[in-house]
Amino acid sequence: MQQLIECVPNFSEGNDLSIIKQITDQIEAVEGVRLLNVDPGKATNRTVVTMVGTPDAVIEAAFSAIRKAGELIDMSKHKGEHPRMGATDVCPLIPIANISMEETAAYAQKLAKRVGEELGLTVYLYESAQPNKNRSNLSVIRAGEYEGLAQKIMQPEWKPDFGPVQFDAKRGATVIGARDFLVAYNINLNTTSTRRANAVAFDIREAGRTKKENGKTVLDEQGKPVVIPGSLKCVKAIGWYIEEYGIAQISINLTNINVTPVHIAFDEACAKATARGLRVTGSELVGLIPLKALTDAGKYFLEKQQRSTGVSEKELIKIAVRSMGLDELSPFKSEERIIEYMLADNSRQRLIGMTLRDFADETASESPAPGGGSISAYVGSLGISLATMVANLSSHKTGWDERWKEFGDWALKGQQIKDQLLLLVDEDTQAFNRIMNAFGMPKSSEAEKQARTLAIQEATRLAIEIPFRVMQLAYESMEVIDAMAKTGNPNSVSDAGVGALCARAAVMGAFMNVRINASGYDDKIFLEEVMNKGRELEAKTQAKEAEILKVVNEKIGS
């Protein structure tokens, strides 16, 4: 299980693309790292870069990029809307796969130490990488920005964690840390007023605002300013004016999207803006976002409309983009913005990425794959897709408004089964190819023979398990098909009937593949269990198909 971390360095240059390219070239030169996104901003004069890879490779790439940024960027000449204190302003590491926050923090400290010692650059640690929690907050570290750094760095409480205790006029200072996944998100307003944008930002951000009466700060009994907290947890926000677009924005960092998702931040900003006589016109993402954040947003806005959420992933993303106006300032390209899409190995989904004609032509070719297993999975996906269609039609049927949620839930379940079956289309073919590759292994020595036998057995077991999973999913889909035949839109009952035929074909076809692959597997206990379950599923499927078709035929009539 490979460890993966994400690194999102922010460089204080957003206008000179040649400088940005020289920095990102350093990243792309490191093996084991993938550059996912480069997002320059003219008004902020800042570029957010996203890369992902194995920890050691990411550390190497980040170090090279920080070094190059220090060579090319002169902070004494830098102007921009975003708070900043260095050429590489901030460089966070984020755990992505098979690595803890503690381990990620250790890598951040390793990087910071190297930057301080080898580059002679002033470095502060933040978030999980900073042992001193009194100075772990990025906004506190960056207070005073570049212009106040010369004085701040000399204060004992702000001695750098690594590097020299002296002001570097050209490079400034860098903040390196480890944190959870953060979504940088800007909300557009129909005003040019930074003060009014700030007012909305203070309304929603967790830190809120200092309470004032008659223009004076209200103090508590201890003499400390009284703070009015904002309405959203795990939200940092400020207002600014973006000359490039001619609008003011609320610039937001969502530090935990499980606590405050993007769509909740958007809706709350809309409400607070409206209360102040403003209007939200759209929004924009900076960098990448997890897929679930957008699909959850799509479901949220559909539910507000009392519409079925059982639509495709692509449709959910489209709803989210339209509802939050993510394409107001520039086109929103899912393949460049969603982290899972950027990391996806599309070669593993070759078949389901084909057109219908290409898929049929590929099946009809002299190649033995895709074969019956992949076709069974695809037929099963078509069967549940028909039932899901009936559920969505029923959810939106005139006069059935009170039942939208009932049918929407059936559609959602159908979409989940469909997506799993579609993945198995390619996985079945990959399992077959794995068997062929195992048979092609060398067998000259006894060791080679043993390795070949083991590989054949492992591949064969996989080639049994995948079609068996197709059987389970296709049978599971019949619950949705049955419900749609009995309670769905009567005008679409024939579609439910065809769905039942497809599900039956998927179960029986997949079982044929289980049986033929079982002939080459040696674990008899495993085989007996699978075959018994397979025969049971086949019998249940045939009985359920008969039950569904009886209902369908009675409703259709002669």
Q: Which domains does the chain have, with CATH numbers?
A: 4-178 (3.30.990.10), 183-343 (3.30.70.670), 352-556 (1.20.120.680)
pTM: 0.79
CB 253 within 8 A of CB 237: yes
Per-residue burial over 80-109, b if 16 or more Cβ lie within 10 Å, else e, is bbbbbbbbbbbbbbbbbeebebeebbbbbb
Q: Dump pLDDT digits (tens) for 63-88.
A: 999 999 999 999 999 998 889 999 99
**Alpha carbon distance 149, 141 (integer Å):** 10
What is the identity of the amino acid at 147?
A: E
Average pLDDT for 218-247: 91
Q: Has residue 507 got a pLDDT over 90?
A: yes
Burial of 411 (0-12, 13-18, 19+ CB in 10 A): buried
CB 424 within 8 A of CB 470: yes
Q: Do strands 46-53 and 33-41 pair parallel, antiparallel, or not at all (unpaired)?
A: antiparallel
Instruction: pLDDT band for 558, please (50, 70, 90 cuts).
Output: low
Residue partners of 321: CB distance under 8 A and separation at least 6: 294, 327, 332
DSSP-assigned letters across all residues of 47-65: EEEEEEE-HHHHHHHHHHH
Structure tokens at 327: 């394409």
Q: Dump pLDDT digits (tens) for 329-374.
A: 999 999 988 888 887 777 778 899 999 999 999 999 998 889 999 9
Q: Has residue 425 got a pLDDT over 80?
A: yes
**Alpha carbon distance 144, 127 (integer Å):** 19
Residue 351 vs residues 117, 343, 358, 417: alpha-carbon distances, Å? 51, 19, 9, 18
Establish whether the linkage from the previous residue to 442 is cis, with ω within 30° of 0: no
Return mean pLDDT, the chain: 94
Q: Dump pLDDT digits (tens) for 157-207.
A: 999 999 999 999 999 999 999 998 889 999 999 999 999 999 999 999 999
**Alpha carbon distance 67, 64 (integer Å):** 5
Residue 246 vs residues 43, 121, 159, 195, 241: alpha-carbon distances, Å? 10, 36, 40, 15, 7
Q: Do strands 122-127 and 173-178 pair parallel, antiparallel, or not at all (unpaired)?
A: parallel
Average pLDDT for 429-445: 93
pLDDT of residue 543: 97
DSSP bridge partners of 186: 251, 284
Q: Has residue 7 got a pLDDT over 90?
A: yes
CB 235 within 8 A of CB 185: no
CB 11 within 8 A of CB 69: yes
Average pLDDT for 146-153: 94
Residue with tokens 């409206």: 274
DSSP bridge partners of 213: 216
Please give the positions annotated as active site: 82, 428
- Is the backbone of residue 137 left (phi > 0), alpha (psi -120 to 50) or beta? beta
Residue 323 vs residues 5, 284, 328, 330: alpha-carbon distances, Å? 31, 12, 11, 15
The DSSP 8-state label assigned to residue 226 in this structure reads: P
Q: What angle do CA 109, 112, 114 make, to 5 degrees?
A: 110
